[in-house]
């Protein structure tokens, strides 16, 4: 099978012949960084276009279809527009924090990219505490939103930021507990090992109903954590005009926008990795022939297929549901999702100890 | 005068919602005092789209002034025009041919459905759901096409003239209205699935924006806003005009008094309008579409008042004539203005997100409030 590791090993051996080991490492890091940024930009373009096409499909209209074949260059044109737009800083804003906030949003999203396994041998950083790293770094997202809301010197922005703060901090609990349920089952914090533990079946199939419940709670919680409808209270267009990024324009706005989509991609990638087996093909017990056929589909297609399925699900939510009110939002988390998650993780722990899963 | 920037001594923040704000659907300016997310006070500031339509009407002839009223409540322009035409006919004591009467009522009810469709989409959009807006516009588009064929315009129809309607209906009219009825009936379940039955939507609407029947009367609320509180105020039933007394339809009343009750009134009213159209569409009598009137209309000296039921409530035209070719004084009673005045009472103590939902259920059209 064709794989990324051949290319990376080729580059590595070529570099180590020509440079000292320190320089090899530095150059490899730069290449990896460029790869992440490129992937970042490409994903942003694809996801924005996908959102618009999905929205159009749900809303019985056509969506972008004029720029390029099938409207594929539309997001590129939008990016160009945003690049040449003036990035204004309002009077009375805390200039340093105001300009820093979008970059923090971006950096957090980039950091989250590191431990994700895109294919069977394509992972930037095989971190042994990958799950912990992801949950820890994703909490930093709230800082950029609070910073943007506070520094804008705008009451709408501040209200959006305060809402977002309450929301992200709350929903992290049940997202974390859902993630932990898979850690309990697989016995590892390493994302790659979690994927390998699903070689004989994905956790959503192996883990019976408790894992399905954990998966549903995970999807709800990450939708809230990424500030997407029906939990988009931080932006709440009809209430707060644009929430925390009301005062942002041009590329600074684009960075927030991009970070939102990348975050959606990342949480869906994590969801696909934990519950749907990441790049692991669909294997069913002892059906050797079936499993063999499934192995022929490249692992990257499995990973992106699952991830984009979850992204589609989250987009579907956005274009179907009305927005919750702030007190209902917090009620949902603290009165329903969190108690269910706590009970559920106890059940899963029991299941893991007694070996009741497949 | 409210201090526009800053906060009050109690630590409340003052926020300007509007005049440019997505939730106000126009240039309405609300100065709201909030404590955290809880609303303490709502103060509407009006006048951003005041065009002195009443004064303008006083310098136009009795044939001309009707057209200006299309620009007030632009979502029920037919019904505004209708009120003015009826008022002039009252003064001149013109007998309107029965064909014209039926066409007028048909157009009124089509307008009411179109207006409620737009309200339904905008209401859902206020609550953060964008998709219903497009679904509502699919049906509204069919009505607009019917209007375009017969009246020549899609929004400001200017179809009613003193004595009847401007021209006869288009040959396609009956067929296309029937097509629309079939389309609407096949899609109305979608509305309930997408919005009415949605648990998030119901939680957002039920129990917020409470308006008791007594308060609805004291604020002068009319239309679906008052009927949601159980106040019977349908002008078509109470003070029937044209052929409404011969028609078989019910006045929708809900007793909840909250946002959901007002929502349900409008959704159920759409079906009532459909039933009115069904009763009339095959029974349009033959005859003239316009009564014979003089080229220059001169109303006798006196005062005339005519009220009609628009999509938003009671719309009244008060006209004083000195016997000339133009009205001496015109005063419009617009439903939006009175309904808006109840907003402060409804919103106090609820959350900021609820304010948007309440404004949605009041179905505000800003040019109707300011005139």
pTM: 0.85
Q: Report the distance separating Cα A216 and Cα B104, nearest Å.
A: 54
Does A249 lie in the same domain as A300? yes
* Average pLDDT of the residues of chain A: 84
Chosen domain end from A31, A50, A84: A84
The A residues from 220 to 279 touching B (CB cutoff 8 Å) are 229-230, 232-233, 236-239, 241
Question: Which of A155, A323, A324 lies nearest to residue B13, judging by beta carbons?
Answer: A155
**Min distance A59 CA to chain B CA atoms (Å):** 5
**Minimum mean pLDDT range among A273-277, A278-282, B54-58, B364-368:** A278-282
Assess contact for B56 and B68: CB atoms under 8 A.
Answer: yes
- The CA distance from A141 to A228, in Å, is 14
**Cβ pair A319:B21 closer than 8 A:** no
Edge-first strand listing for the sheet containing B13-17:
B13-17, B29-35, B38-45
**A222 shares a domain with A108:** yes
From residue A180, give the alpha-carbon distance in Å to each of A2, A35, A79, A186.
34, 30, 38, 10
Round to whole Å and give the CA distance between B286 and B320.
35
Strand partners for A261: none
Express each pLDDT in B84-140 by its tens digit: 899 888 888 888 888 888 988 989 999 999 999 999 988 888 888 888 888 888 888
Q: Count CA atoms within 13 Å of residue B44 on its CB side.
A: 24
How confident is the model at residue A277, as a pLDDT? 82
Contact B314, B222 (CB under 8 A): yes
Supply the DSSP symbol for B95.
P
If contacts are CB pairs under 8 Å, which of residues 323-352 in chain A contact chain B?
A: 323-328
Assess whether A121 and A208 both reside in one domain: yes
Minimum distance, in Å, between the CA of residue A295 and any CA atom of chain B? 40
Candidates A52, A237, A239, A240, partner chain B, best to mutate (most B CBs within 10 A): A239
Q: What is the mean pLDDT of residues B202-225?
A: 88
Count helices and strands (H / E) in chain A.
16, 2
Residues A217, A182, single domain; the answer is yes
A322 touches chain B (CB under 8 A): yes
Whether chain A has a CB inside 8 Å of the CB on B358: the answer is no
Domain boundary among A84, A113, A128: A84
Query: What is the pLDDT, as a whole number, of residue B1?
Result: 38
Nearest chain A Cα distance for residue B36, angstroms: 8
In this predicted structure, what is the pLDDT of residue B40? Answer: 86
pLDDT, mean of residues B301-315: 89
Q: A46, A61, A84 — which closes off a domain?
A: A84
Q: Where are the domains of chain B?
A: 50-370
Report the sign of the C-alpha dihedral through residues B329, B334, B337, B341, in that order.
positive
Distance CA A249, CA A262 (A): 19
Could you confirm whether domain B50-370 is CATH 1.10.645.10? yes
- A312-325 exposure pattern, b = at least 16 Cβ within 10 A, e = fewer: eebbebbbbbbbbb
- Report yes or no: B124 at the A interface, CB cutoff 8 Å: yes
Residues A220-272: tens digit of each pLDDT: 998 888 888 788 877 777 777 777 888 888 888 888 888 888 889 988 999 99
Residue in B with minimal Cα distance to A326: B353
Distance (Å, whole) CA B218 – CA B212: 10
Residue A147 in contact with residue A104, Cβ under 8 Å?
yes
Give the Cα separation of A262 and A303 in Å (integer): 16
| Structure confidence by residue, pLDDT tens digits, A71-92 | 888 888 888 888 888 878 888 8
Strands B329-333 and B314-321: antiparallel
pLDDT band for position B365 (cuts 50, 70, 90): confident
Look at phi and psi of residue B47 and say left if phi exceeds 0, alpha if psi is from -120 to 50, else beta. Answer: left
Output DSSP code: residue A66: S
Interface of B with A in 231-290 (CB under 8 A): none
One domain for residues A132 and A203: yes
Residue-wise pLDDT for A183-198, tens only, equals 888 888 888 888 888 8
Q: Whole domain around residue A132: which residue ranges?
A: 85-354
- Whether A321 sits inside 8 A of B353 (CB atoms) is no
Q: Which residues of A touch B356 (CB under 8 A)?
A: 238-239
ipTM greater than 0.90: no
pLDDT at B2 over 50: no
Number of Cβ pairs < 8 A linking chain A and chain B: 82
SS3 assignment, position A300: helix
Q: Indicate whether A266 and A162 sit together in one domain.
A: yes
| H or E element, residue B302 | strand B302-309
Q: How far apart are CA B66 and CA A53, in angstroms?
A: 44
| Probe site for chain A from B35, B128, B351 (most A CB atoms < 10 A) | B128
Residues of chain A found within 8 Å of residue B42, distances taken between Cβ atoms: none
Give the B window 178-237 contacts with A, CB below 8 Å: 194-195, 198, 200-201, 203-204
With an 8 Å Cβ cutoff, is B31 touching chain A? no
Using a CB-CB cut-off of 8 Å, the residues of chain B touching A61 are 134
Cβ distance of B204 and A236 shorter than 8 Å: no
Q: Residue B203 and residue A328: Cβ atoms within 8 Å?
A: yes
The reported pLDDT for the residue numbered A340 is 92
Q: Is the pLDDT of residue B4 over 70?
A: no
**Is the confidence at residue B3, as pLDDT, over 50?**
no
d(CA A274, CA A202) in angstroms, rounded, equals 8
Q: Between chains, do B200 and A322 touch, taking CB under 8 Å as contact? A: yes
Query: Same domain, yes or no, for A139 and A60?
Result: no
The answer to whether residues A91 and A67 belong to one domain is: no
Do A25 and A173 share a domain, yes or no? no
Cβ distance B267 to B196 under 8 Å?
A: yes
Q: Which residues of A touch B21 (CB under 8 A)?
A: 241
Asked if A48 and A63 sit in the same domain, the reply is: yes
Q: What is the mean pLDDT of chain B?
A: 86
Give residues with Cβ within 8 angstroms of A340, minimum separation 6. Answer: A174, A213, A217
Query: What are the chain A neighbours of B194 within 8 Å (beta carbons)?
Result: 320
> Residues of A with CB below 8 A from B203's CB?
324-325, 328
- The total of structural domains in chain A comes to 2
Residues from chain B contacting residue A220 (CB–CB below 8 Å): none
Q: Which chain B residues contact residue A58 at CB under 8 A? A: 131
Q: How far is A218 from chain B (nearest CA, A)?
A: 19
């Amino acid at each position: 099978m064709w794989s990324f590791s051949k290319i990376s090993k080729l580059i590595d051996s070529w570099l180590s012949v020509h440079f000292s080991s320190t320089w090899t490492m530095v150059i490899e890091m730069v290449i990896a960084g460029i790869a992440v940024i490129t992937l970042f930009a490409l994903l942003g373009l694809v996801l924005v276009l996908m959102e618009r096409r999905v929205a159009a499909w749900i809303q019985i209209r056509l969506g972008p279809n004029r720029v390029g074949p099938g409207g594929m260059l539309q997001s590129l044109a939008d990016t160009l527009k945003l690049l040449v737009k003036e990035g204004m800083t309002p009077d009375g804003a805390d200039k340093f924090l105001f300009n820093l906030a979008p970059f923090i949003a971006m950096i957090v999203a980039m950091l989250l990219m590191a431990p994700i396994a895109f294919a069977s041998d394509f992972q930037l950083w095989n971190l042994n505490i990958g799950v912990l790293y992801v949950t820890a770094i994703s909490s930093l997202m709230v800082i950029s939103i609070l910073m943007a809301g506070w520094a804008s010197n705008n009451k709408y922005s501040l209200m959006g930021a305060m809402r977002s703060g309450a929301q992200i901090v709350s929903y992290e609990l049940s997202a974390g507990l859902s993630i932990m349920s898979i850690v309990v089952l697989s016995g590892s914090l390493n994302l790659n090992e979690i994927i390998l533990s699903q070689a004989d079946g994905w956790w959503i199939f192996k883990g019976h109903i408790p894992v399905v419940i954990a998966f549903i709670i995970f999807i709800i919680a990450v939708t809230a954590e990424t500030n997407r409808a029906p939990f988009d209270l931080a932006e709440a267009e009809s209430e707060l005009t644009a929430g925390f990024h009301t005062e942002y324009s041009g590329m600074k706005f684009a960075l927030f926008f991009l970070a939102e989509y990348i975050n959606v991609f990342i949480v869906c990638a994590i969801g696909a990795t934990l519950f749907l087996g990441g790049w692991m093909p669909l294997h069913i017990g002892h059906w050797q022939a079936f499993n063999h056929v499934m192995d022929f589909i490249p692992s990257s297609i499995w990973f992106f297929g699952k991830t984009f399925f979850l992204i589609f699900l989250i987009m579907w939510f956005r274009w179907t549901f009305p927005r919750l009110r702030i007190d209902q939002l917090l009620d949902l988390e603290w009165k329903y999702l969190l108690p269910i998650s706590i009970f559920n993780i106890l059940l899963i722990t029991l299941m893991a100890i007694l070996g009741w899963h497949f | 005068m409210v201090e526009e920037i800053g906060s009050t001594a109690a630590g409340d923040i003052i926020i300007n919602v509007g005049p440019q704000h997505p939730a106000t659907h126009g240039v309405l300016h609300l100065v709201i005092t909030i404590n955290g997310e809880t609303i303490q006070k709502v103060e509407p500031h009006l006048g951003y789209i005041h065009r002195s339509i009443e004064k303008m009407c006083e310098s136009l002839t009795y044939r001309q002034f009707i057209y200006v009223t299309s620009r007030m409540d632009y979502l029920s322009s037919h019904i505004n025009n209708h009120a003015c035409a009826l008022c002039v006919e009252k003064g001149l004591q013109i007998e309107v041919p029965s064909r014209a009467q039926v066409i007028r009522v048909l157009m009124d009810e089509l307008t009411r459905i179109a207006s409620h469709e737009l309200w339904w989409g905008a209401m859902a959009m206020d609550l953060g759901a964008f998709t219903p807006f497009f679904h509502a516009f699919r049906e509204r588009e069919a009505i607009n096409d019917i209007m375009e064929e017969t009246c020549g315009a899609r929004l400001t129809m200017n179809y009613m003239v003193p004595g009847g309607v401007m021209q006869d209906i288009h040959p396609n009219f009956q067929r296309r209205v029937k097509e629309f009825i079939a389309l609407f009936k096949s899609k109305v379940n979608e509305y309930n699935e997408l919005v009415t039955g949605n648990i998030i939507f119901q939680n957002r609407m039920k129990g917020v924006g409470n308006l008791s029947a007594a308060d609805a009367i004291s604020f002068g609320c009319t239309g679906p806003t008052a009927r949601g509180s159980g106040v019977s105020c349908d002008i078509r039933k109470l003070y029937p005009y044209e052929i409404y007394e011969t028609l078989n339809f019910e006045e929708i009343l809900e007793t909840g008094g909250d946002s959901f009750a007002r929502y349900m009134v409008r959704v159920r009213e759409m079906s009532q309008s459909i039933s009115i159209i069904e009763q009339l569409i095959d029974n349009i009598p033959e005859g003239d579409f316009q009564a014979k009137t003089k080229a220059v209309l001169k109303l006798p000296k006196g005062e005339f008042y005519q009220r009609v039921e628009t999509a938003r409530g009671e719309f009244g035209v008060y006209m004083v004539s000195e016997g000339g070719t133009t009205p001496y004084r015109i005063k419009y009673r617009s439903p939006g203005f009175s309904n808006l005045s109840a907003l402060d009472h409804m919103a106090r103590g609820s959350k900021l997100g609820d304010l948007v939902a309440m404004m949605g259920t009041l179905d505000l059209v800003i040019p109707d409030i300011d005139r």
